[in-house]
Amino acid sequence: DWTGQLLELLAMESVHRDWVARVIRYASGVPSLRHPELEERMCIFGRWYSGEGKRLYGDLGGFSTVGRLHQEAHLLGQALLRAHERGAGTAAAAHDLLEARDRFIAGLRQLQQQVLTRLA
């Protein structure tokens, strides 16, 4: 039953997918109203993770895994934008970021399963 706070956890996949897409668009030179947030603690997921997420799910093993995967994605996003700013090729860095996105989503889904198991 994905309601209330659980729905917020489910929505984090969409939030992260959107962040990765914005980073890649920005690195591709697509005009943007704002620079993608690169500080992992300041993006939407990062704020949720260190606040409400930690309070609700910090005791679950998958929670720290998701945090590590989130940090990895941000480091790769930063590397992608640095390559773009240097005028270097960005295809490999974008590919790495997409792979990190997929690992993050897999970890997030494991956390979601742990939450559902705990509630059962």
pLDDT the model gives residue 30 = 84
Across the range 51-55, mean pLDDT stands at 95
Task: Please compute, for residue 95, the number of CA atoms within 13 A of its CA located in the half-sphere on the CB side.
Answer: 4
pLDDT at 1 over 80: no
Q: What is the per-residue pLDDT for 35?
A: 79
Give me the phi and psi of 87, to 5 degrees please: 80, 15
- The mean pLDDT value for 106-118 works out to 93
How many other β-carbons are positioned within 10 Å of the β-carbon of residue 60? 16
